Structure formats: C-alpha cells, structure tokens
C-alpha cells in the first residue's frame, strides 16, 4: 500500500509539469554458474523463511494481544535473531531480499483488508516455481546490454539470454529507465529467470482528439473458441490451441512417469521433462498474446471488447480447457496496458449485450438463431451473415454508442 501511495503522490507532483510515471517489466532468461545457482536456491529459501517467520509472528501477536505487529518493529527483532548461531545462514543472504519479503507480508495484509485477496498464506517450498525479490539501492542491480549480463546483489554478474524481441527493443530505443527491483526465479524444470522492474518518467499524453477519429480506426472483437478472435473487418485470427497440440505429448510423458520408480533418477528426469513442457506452453501462449495485442494496438485507435465472465465460464468443466488455453483474461490485460502506453482506448461492453442475434444491417433480432448456426440469412433484409463477423460488427457499434456518450465530439456516421 505504501508503494502505491507514493506513486500516486509522485504522479500528482509530476502532473504539474505534464509528466507521469510509467512502470514496466523485462523478463530475461538467466544462465547462472553452478555457484550462482546454489546461491539462488539458498536466497529463495531464506526469503521464504523470512516471509513465513514474520507472517507467523504477526498472526501470533494478534492472536495473543489483538495488536498488529508492524514490519519496522519486526525488522529490529529480526536483526537480533539473525545473530543467533542457528540462524547465522540468514546473514549470508541478500539483505534487501529479506527486507522485501518482510514488506511483502504487510502488502499481503493490506490487500486482504481491502478485500482484494484472501488471508495471506505461508509460502511452500514444494511449488514448482521459487523466487525472491531484491531492491535497487546504490547501483546494486544493473543490466549490461553489450555483455548480455545482469548484476544482482550477492550473485554478481549473471549471464542472460536475449530473445530476438529483446534485441529489437535494445536496438530501437534501448532500455534507459531506472531499475526499481529484480525478481529472481527458478523453475523445477531447471530454468532460471530474472524479472527487472523499471520506472520511467514520461510525458502525459494529450487527450485523444475525438473529432478526428474515423470509423475505420475503431475495431470490434468477438472472442471465441474456434477462432481466437474475429474482428469487425472480417479478419479471423486462428486459435493456436497450444495445450491441445501439446496434450498428446504431455499424456505420453505422464504415462512414462507412472512406469518409473518414485524418487529414482529416471523418475526425476521424467518430472523435469513434464514441467519443461508446461513452461514451454506458457511461454508460447504469452508470445502469441503479446504479438496479437501489439498488432491491434498499433493498427487501431479504439478496441472494443466484450466483458466475458471468464471465471464463471471456467467453472463449466467442458469448456474450461479451451478457455484457459486461449487466455482471454491475459489478452485483455495486454491490450489494456499497451493501449494506455500508446494513447489508445479500450472499450469494454456488457457481456449480456446480444451481439450475435442482431442483424448488423437492419437491427432485426433473429430469436431463432441457435449456437450451431454459423451462417444465417436475416429474415427482414435478407443479408447473409457470418455469425461471428456479424457479432464483431455489433460489438463495434455498441462500443461507438458508449464512446459517443463519453466523448460527444466523436463523430462517426
């Protein structure tokens, strides 16, 4: 909470000069040495220990006295505690990471009090992904693009691998923003990552000049299962169905695992393969969603989307795999923040808006339309409709209706 407050405060001050803060992340593959690997494992452990320790203390104090232990007080007693020979190993850890772990407990409580999260839970060492976050102080975190190395406290310089996309970003505009923090992660498949969080001061965008926005700069999207989306211009973007394609492979690997003796080295190898495949699927999906969202934001001024209740739909088990697979939720997040960066607008329309049943030409409602009808002829004006393209056009129209209310200067016929 404290963090958010200062951002709001800073932005208020910056706004007077027509500026604002922008945050973004950069995730890179790490190639640590064996020594660095064991340090990463150990730092994840000490961060997790610290987090759990403070959480337990805070719960205990509250239970016994009804008082709230604050992180300032805890940090003091924690420093004394570290001097005990039994816990000396904590002194080898990155102290900024331990501080961040303590603050993370406070933040988890804040989110709980605000009703945004459930009550904070203890962190488990059995999760397939382990991580710790360290803070930037006195240049202790640095990215050297030329040498392809990142400096992390207590780890020193670690080799990183840039993707094609990263190289493009560095070539085009470099990455000159200030680093705020670094999160180091390792995955049970044996892969290591660092996520750098950047902060940059940028100019406040001018308000969009709505009187200049034309009809072809607005796009409506109908998100679906057969296609990832269909837009109001009639484009259909294939749903890559990553999971489905990889599912056979996954099933095979899981069968192999079953035939192996639990705990044997072959068993562990198999396990590693499985988690590697999971990671691969997640990465491919993210790539796809980044590309699609970027394209949409580059090519349009306004993007209109339906407010699908993804969570509600996932409860329906039959649909769940495909829906989770296409990741509409992540897609919306990507489209939204990329739009914000580029001074574009996202309009979310009500999910109960009957986008498929209304003829986009004459607005006649075709109440007889069933889910299996992919094509239909309007009973009134006889237009032949592709079900999804018609829906996307209606979504666009509904978006325009909402926009006109918000921005009366928008003039599109």
Q: Least distance to Zn ion from the beta carbon of 386, Å?
A: 14
Strand boundaries in 169-327, DSSP class E = 178-187, 191-203, 218-223, 227-231, 236-238, 302-306
Q: Least distance to Zn ion from the beta carbon of 365, Å?
A: 10
Instruction: For Zn ion, give the closer residue by CB, 340 or 386.
Output: 386
Q: Least distance to Zn ion from the beta carbon of 367, Å?
A: 13
Q: Does 386 bind Zn ion (CB under 5 A)?
A: no
Q: Does 381 bind Zn ion (CB under 5 A)?
A: yes
Q: Least distance to Zn ion from the beta carbon of 364, Å?
A: 5
Q: Does 156 bind Zn ion (CB under 5 A)?
A: no
Instruction: For Zn ion, give the closer residue by CB, 131 or 393.
Output: 393
Count of residues that interact with Zn ion, criterion CB under 5 A: 7
CB 231 within 8 A of CB 219: yes
Q: Least distance to Zn ion from the beta carbon of 373, Å?
A: 15
Q: Least distance to Zn ion from the beta carbon of 377, Å?
A: 9
Rounded distance between C-alpha atoms, residue 378 and residue 79, angstroms: 74
Instruction: For Zn ion, give the closer residue by CB, 8 or 377.
Output: 377
Instruction: For Zn ion, give the closer residue by CB, 255 or 380.
Output: 380
Rounded distance between C-alpha atoms, residue 6 and residue 360, angstroms: 48
Residue listed under structure tokens 């990471």: 97
Instruction: For Zn ion, give the closer residue by CB, 95 or 387.
Output: 387
Which DSSP helix (H) or strand (E) runs through 22? Answer: strand 19-31
Q: Does 378 bind Zn ion (CB under 5 A)?
A: yes
Instruction: For Zn ion, give the closer residue by CB, 1 or 381.
Output: 381
Phi first, then psi, for residue 227 (nearest 5°) are: -115, 150
String marking each residue 57-76 x if it binds Zn ion according to CB under 5 A: --------------------
Instruction: For Zn ion, give the closer residue by CB, 307 or 375.
Output: 375
Site for Zn ion in 307-366 (CB under 5 A): 359, 361-362, 364
Q: Least distance to Zn ion from the beta carbon of 394, Å?
A: 12
Q: Interacting stretch for Zn ion, rule CB under 5 A, among 165-173, 240-248, 375-383, 399-407?
A: 375-383
Q: Which of 146, 139, 147, 131 is nearest to 180 (CA)?
A: 139
Laid out side by side, the sheet with 345-349 consists of 236-238, 227-231, 218-223, 302-306, 345-349
Q: Interacting stretch for Zn ion, rule CB under 5 A, among 63-71, 223-231, 299-307, 376-384?
A: 376-384
How many CB atoms neighbour CB 401 within 10 A?
A: 12
Rounded distance between C-alpha atoms, residue 363 and residue 337, angstroms: 33
Q: Does 377 bind Zn ion (CB under 5 A)?
A: no
DSSP secondary structure, 342-392, as one string: TT-EEEEE-TTS-TTTB-TTT--B-TT--TT-SEEE-TTT--EEEHHHHHH
Instruction: For Zn ion, give the closer residue by CB, 23 or 380.
Output: 380
Q: Least distance to Zn ion from the beta carbon of 366, Å?
A: 8
Residue listed under structure tokens 């039994």: 86
224 to 59, 238, 305: CA distances (angstroms): 45, 10, 12
Q: Is the dihedral of CA 182, 154, 131, 37 positive or negative?
A: positive
Q: Interacting stretch for Zn ion, rule CB under 5 A, among 20-28, 251-259, 273-281, 378-386?
A: 378-386
Q: Least distance to Zn ion from the beta carbon of 232, Å?
A: 16
- 38: buried, middle or exposed (CB in 10 Å: 19+, 13-18, 0-12)? exposed
Instruction: For Zn ion, give the closer residue by CB, 150 or 359.
Output: 359
Site residues, Zn ion (CB under 5 A): 359, 361-362, 364, 378, 380-381
């Amino acid at each position: 909470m404290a963090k958010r407050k200062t951002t709001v405060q800073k932005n208020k001050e910056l706004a007077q000069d027509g500026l604002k803060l922008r945050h973004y992340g950069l995730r890179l593959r790490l190639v640590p040495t064996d020594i660095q690997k064991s340090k990463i494992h150990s730092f994840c452990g000490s961060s997790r220990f610290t987090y759990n320790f403070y959480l337990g203390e805070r719960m205990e104090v509250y239970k016994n006295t009804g008082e709230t232990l604050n992180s300032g007080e805890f940090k003091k007693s924690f420093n004394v505690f570290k001097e005990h020979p039994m816990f000396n190993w904590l002194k080898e850890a990155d102290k900024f990471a331990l501080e961040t772990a303590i603050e993370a407990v406070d933040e988890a409580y804040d989110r709980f009090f605000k009703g945004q999260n459930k009550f904070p839970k203890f962190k488990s060492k059995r999760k397939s992904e382990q991580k710790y976050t360290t803070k930037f102080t006195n240049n202790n975190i640095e990215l050297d693009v030329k040498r392809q190395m990142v400096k992390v406290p207590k780890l020193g310089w670690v080799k990183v691998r840039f993707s094609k996309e990263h190289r493009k970003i560095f070539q085009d505009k470099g990455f000159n923003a200030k680093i705020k923090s670094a999160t180091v992660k390792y995955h049970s498949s044996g892969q290591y990552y660092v996520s750098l969080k950047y902060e940059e001061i940028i100019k406040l965008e001018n308000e969009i000049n709505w009187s200049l926005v034309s009809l072809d700069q607005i796009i409506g999207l109908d998100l679906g299962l057969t296609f990832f989306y269909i837009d109001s211009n009639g484009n259909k973007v294939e749903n890559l169905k990553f999971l489905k394609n990889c599912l056979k492979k996954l099933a095979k690997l899981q069968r192999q695992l079953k035939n192996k003796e639990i705990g044997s080295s072959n068993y562990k190898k198999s396990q590693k393969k499985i988690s590697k495949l999971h990671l691969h699927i997640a990465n491919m999906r993210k790539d796809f969603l980044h590309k699609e969202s970027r394209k949409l934001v580059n090519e349009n001024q306004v993007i209109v989307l339906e407010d699908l209740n993804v969570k509600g739909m996932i409860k329906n088990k039959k649909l769940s795999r495909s829906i989770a697979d296409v990741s509409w939720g992540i897609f919306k997040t990507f489209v939204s923040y990329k739009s914000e960066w580029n001074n574009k607008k996202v309009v979310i329309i009500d999910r109960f808006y009957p986008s498929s049943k209304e003829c986009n030409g004459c607005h006649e409602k075709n109440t007889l339309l069933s889910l299996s009808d992919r094509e239909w002829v309007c009973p009134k004006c006889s237009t032949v409709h592709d079900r999804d393209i018609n829906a996307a056009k209606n979504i666009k129209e509904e978006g325009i209706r909402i926009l006109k209310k918000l921005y009366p200067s928008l003039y599109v016929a």
